[in-house]
Amino acid sequence: MKMLAKKFRWYMLLIVAVIGLFSFKVGDNYFEIAKNLELYASVFREINTYYVDGIDAGKLNKKAIDEMLKTLDPYTNFISEAEAEDFRYQMTGQYGGVGSQIGMKDDYIVITDPYEGYPAYKADLRAGDLIINVDGKDIKGKSTSDVSKLLKGQAGTAIKLVIKRNGKEIPKTITREEIKVKNVPYSGLINPETGYIKLTGFTQEAGKEVRDALVALKKQGIKQVILDLRGNPGGLLNEAVNIVNVFVPQGQQVVFTKGKVSEWDKSYETTMGATDPVIPVAVLVSRGSASASEIVSGTIQDLDRGIVIGQRSFGKGLVQSTRPLNYNTQIKITTAKYYTPSGRCIQALDYSHRNEDGSVGSVPDSLKKEFKTKNGRKVYDGGGIDPDIKVELKPYAQITQSLLAKQVIFDFATEYRNTHDSIAQPKTFMLTQADFEAFKKLAETKELDYSTQTEKSLEELKKKAEQEKYFEAIKASYDKMKAQLKQDKQADLDKNKEEIIALLEEEIVKRYYFQKGKIEASFSHDLEIKEALSVFANSERYKQIISGPVASKK
């Protein structure tokens, strides 16, 4: 034990000594770092030697590193050896597994979205199937992350599942494959003149996938295209450049970065000829569009190459670089900020100036600067990409939110798939009134726990009446109103039929035609797509939006 402790002390002191020698050569700031590393090593040594119980050194060190990095920004992360596979998936979109999204339902894991063409799909796993056993192990109570690890594995290896569908237990043997989640899960025609490309990620070959999609759509005769970046959290910066290059000619600056270290001051330009430099483009963004999505939409806007439609984007203008560490670990560290061609940085939160409670605030309007697009339109930094056409999204009704939270819509789609072998094509499929009545009956069996504002006011009235000793006098009226409101909850299903039907149709279509079908089923009621089609139908309006004051003065 003494020998082990001695070796531990010698090892830690050696590290500090080496860093210390390096520190004096580089500068005073590194001396401060060396001093604190020595202090950290001392604390670690004392805990290891004297703490009453045994310690898990790796776990303790990981916690210390994670807590340290939390004081910087959410994107600077330590990646342990155990997390390397998940990180690889984030960068490449590839992993070994069965190819399906999963979720929680009661005490079990449920299949929510099998990927078309992959092992889960080939084995006829369906959305709504409960996984109750994996390789002979009962998984009741296991988390999604626990089961995900069991499902993943080396391509070519087999896994045995027992699923429950429609009350029956069904054994399945599935051979894992290398899964490559596409950046473009769907591209197709909204109408004969309008192409649509859905981009969900920026992993390797995202630019090629967008380019290939546009080429295929042009062969079908499109005259305009919608690029959908809604909810896309970003990814590889170079792929953002490649995607812009699909619409912008060679040699155009797309983004430049600036960091504390001069090696991160870089400019990224398009390197190839554009697939189509003139086709009208509408880029759809949402609050969930971040990072590389904002590079693409911001550059398209800055160059007046197309119009941006939707809601203000997330506002992540920070660049991360991955650097290798010892023992097969890595650190993903924020090294720079990125700027679109007009010179604006769209970073919305100021992580360098934290409040006393550790929170951070948005960049104040007084500090936001004005920039100009290629045609002289005004754009601003410090708050994401502001769309050229804003579309305000109406939140779901309370009953709809409850239906989603209680998985009633999901359950109805499962029952529908179990009782209908086929349905019409996604663009034409419609639920009947009889289907909706069946859904209402299912909803009646669920506890939809939401309170209307009227119910809340009624409860407040009861409390005040009880405090003032008046409740007994109004109790009969109170009970009558409460019963009436309960009946009105059933009427809420009819009041919000349109939005509920839209969600039901998408979920049901997904059971037969997967993600591609769900996207096509959404076309008829998608507000941003409707706005894009409206602008495309009025070519003068489109030109007016992107022309700016330059054209108006001519």
Identify the three-state secondary structure at position 526: coil
Residue 408, pLDDT > 80, answer: yes
pLDDT value of position 515 = 94
Distances in Å between the alpha carbon of 210 and those of 185, 224, 279? 10, 14, 14
Residue 467, pLDDT > 80, answer: yes
Residue 553, pLDDT > 50, answer: no
**Distance of alpha carbon 29 from alpha carbon 427, whole angstroms:** 63
**Residue in 187, 198, 297, 316 annotated catalytic:** 316
Q: Which residues pair with 318 in a beta bridge?
A: 337
Q: Is 359 a catalytic residue?
A: no
Digit-coded pLDDT (tens) for 96-151 = 999 999 999 989 999 999 999 999 999 999 999 999 999 999 999 999 999 999 99
Q: How confident is the model at residue 81 (pLDDT cuts 50, 70, 90)?
A: confident
pLDDT value of position 451 = 64
Structure token pair of residue 310: 């939707």
Query: Where would I find the H helices in 152-199?
Result: none
**Distance of alpha carbon 411 from alpha carbon 469, whole angstroms:** 46
Digit-coded pLDDT (tens) for 163-217 = 999 999 999 999 999 999 999 999 999 999 999 999 999 999 999 999 999 999 9
Q: Which residues pair with 379 in a beta bridge?
A: 371
pLDDT value of position 4 = 46
**Distance of alpha carbon 124 from alpha carbon 121, whole angstroms:** 5
Single-letter code of the amino acid located at 72: L
pLDDT value of position 465 = 84
**Residue in 23, 286, 291, 293 annotated catalytic:** 291
Average pLDDT of span 308-329: 92
Q: Is 302 a catalytic residue?
A: yes
CA 501 to chain CA centroid, nearest Å: 25
Nearest to 439 by CA among 397, 493, 478: 493
Structure token pair of residue 5: 């402790």
Q: Is 316 a catalytic residue?
A: yes
pLDDT value of position 350 = 81
b/e map of 107-135 (b: 16 or more CB within 10 Å)?
Answer: ebbbbbbbbeebbbbebebbbbbbbbbbe
Q: How confident is the model at residue 24 (pLDDT cuts 50, 70, 90)?
A: very low
Q: What is the rounded end-to-end Cα distance, in angstroms, of the chain?
A: 86
Identify the three-state secondary structure at position 364: coil
Residue 371, pLDDT > 90, answer: yes
Residue 146's φ and ψ, nearest 5 degrees, are -65, -45
Angle, to 10 degrees, between the axis of helix 471-495 and the axis of helix 433-444?
140
Q: How confident is the model at residue 1 (pLDDT cuts 50, 70, 90)?
A: very low
Q: How confident is the model at residue 552 (pLDDT cuts 50, 70, 90)?
A: very low
**Residue in 302, 304, 381, 492 annotated catalytic:** 302
Residue that has been written with the tokens 């009558």 in this structure: 480
Digit-coded pLDDT (tens) for 223-272 = 999 999 999 999 999 999 999 999 999 999 999 999 988 888 999 999 99
Structure token pair of residue 14: 């050696």
